[in-house]
């Protein structure tokens, strides 16, 4: 018998097993962050007492993100994904969320469309080993962020994404303070970048900024993480970021489809040089 219940920290082994099966990049730290940011926002599907699926939600005011929609490959096509999504959406509707968003894989797109989601944008996932920098520095000075920069970065992120993701930015900065890099002064921050380790690659992003800060921050990341395997999720509308990734030998391995349900969120993807990952856009 299938049951859907709230996910807890004790269920992380189920999530990690499904991530490994799907070949995704999340670590235990990512699961902990997801559950901490939205207590009660994750759900587990159990079949005869065995965990066979997960989904997480995170609310940022009137906007929410759905992520980690995973179903054991032995049970796909049996309605478990739909049951999980239905429970997640019912929970968000009860909280008064007006816009629900997610970054879909091709496998999940038909289900999301059936549930009222529509395509809004695409992102290309670039992966590869970063080659050493060619010695050409960015045009802007990049530095490690200090405490005064945090609120400025949150304000910039809110302006560019149309969503108050302050809790997410704070958490990522707390977890990886040395990876929090900025261009500009706290009173006039032009851009910022965060990154974190993953199961198979370092996720570079979020990286948001103007046409001067974005390339400088990515060049800085290239220098800092040379020799590492990295992932960058780059909006297709940001042609300059796409070109940079390609010139560094990173390969676009798959497309993520950003979808929404409810009023469309006004975001400026031309200022996104790398997304934060499918978990939060």
CATH number for 53: 3.40.630.30
In this structure, the chain runs to a length of 281
pLDDT computed for residue 105 by the predictor:
87
79 in the same domain as 139 = no
Domains in the chain: how many in total?
2
Q: What are the pLDDT digits (tens) for 122-168?
A: 999 999 999 987 765 566 899 999 989 999 999 999 999 999 999 99
Same domain, 162 and 35: no
Task: Look up the CATH number of the domain holding residue 241.
Answer: 3.40.630.90
Q: Which domain holds residue 194?
A: 124-274
Average pLDDT over residues 40-62: 96
Residue with tokens 């391995």: 253
Together in a domain, 256 and 130: yes
Q: What is the pTM of this model?
A: 0.95
If we measure between CA atoms, which residue out of 146, 162, 264, 261 comes closest to residue 208?
A: 162
Residue 264 lies in a domain: yes
For the chain, give percent helix, strand, coil, nearest 5: 35, 35, 30
pLDDT digits over 61-81, tens only? 999 999 999 999 999 989 999
């Amino acid at each position: 018998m299938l049951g859907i219940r709230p996910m807890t920290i004790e269920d992380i082994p189920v999530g990690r097993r499904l991530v490994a099966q799907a070949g995704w990049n999340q670590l235990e730290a990512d699961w902990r962050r997801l559950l901490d940011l939205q207590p009660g926002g994750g759900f587990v599907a159990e079949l005869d007492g065995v965990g066979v699926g997960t989904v997480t939600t995170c609310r940022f005011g009137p906007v929410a993100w759905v992520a980690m929609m995973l179903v054991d490959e032995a049970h796909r096509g049996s309605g478990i994904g739909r049951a999980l999504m239905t429970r997640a959406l019912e929970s968000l509707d009860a909280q008064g969320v007006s816009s629900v968003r997610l970054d879909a894989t091709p496998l999940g797109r038909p289900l999301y469309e059936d549930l009222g989601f529509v395509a809004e944008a695409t992102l290309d996932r670039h992966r590869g080993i970063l080659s050493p920098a060619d010695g050409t520095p960015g045009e802007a000075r990049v530095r490690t962020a200090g405490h005064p920069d945090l609120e400025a970065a949150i304000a910039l992120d809110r302006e560019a994404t149309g969503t108050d993701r302050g809790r997410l930015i704070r958490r990522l900065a707390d977890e990886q303070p040395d990876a929090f890099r900025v261009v500009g002064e706290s009173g006039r921050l032009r851009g910022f970048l965060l990154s974190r380790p993953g199961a198979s690659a370092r996720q570079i992003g979020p990286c948001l900024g103007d046409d001067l800060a974005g390339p400088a921050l990515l060049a800085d990341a290239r220098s800092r993480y040379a020799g590492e395997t990295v992932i960058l999720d780059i909006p297709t509308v940001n042609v300059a970021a796409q070109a940079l990734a390609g010139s560094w030998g990173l390969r676009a391995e798959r497309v993520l489809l950003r979808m929404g349900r409810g009023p469309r969120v006004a975001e400026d993807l031309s200022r996104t040089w790398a997304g934060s990952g499918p978990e939060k856009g």
